[in-house]
Amino acid sequence: MMTRYWDRRRFIRVPASGPARWCAGSQQGHCEIADVSPGGVSLRMPARRASQLDARISLEVPLAPNLTWHLAKDAYVVRRNPGEDGTWTVGVAFTHTPCDN
């Protein structure tokens, strides 16, 4: 029997939707969160922005005026995939997860 891809994941992903801001070195920009798990997050963004990401990035999510959630201060890009609508999906892994020692 063939194991489905998502059955091998370390964490369950939860669909999410909302704006986020990424910073990679001197570059920064806006993106859309696609899903999130304790181990990482999936982002959607234009191809031009996806190509500007360094290996290490930080992510912030605006919650309210003058209130920001620092989702990841030192995460890393693990994949970039083109979408059918012209945007790219970027997989980001957190450097520390609740299961890390």
Q: What is the spatial distance between Cα 43 and Cα 24, in angstroms, rounded to a whole number?
A: 14
Tens of pLDDT, residue by residue over 90-100, are 999 998 755 54
Local confidence band at 22 (pLDDT 50, 70, 90 cut-offs): very high
Local confidence band at 1 (pLDDT 50, 70, 90 cut-offs): very low
Radius of gyration from C-alpha coordinates of the chain: 14
Buried b (16+ CB within 10 A) or exposed e, 78-98: eeeeeeeeebbbbbbbbeeee
Domains of the chain: 14-94 (2.40.10.220)
The answer to whether the beta carbons of residues 31 and 45 sit under 8 Å apart is yes
Tens of pLDDT, residue by residue over 51-60, are 888 889 999 9
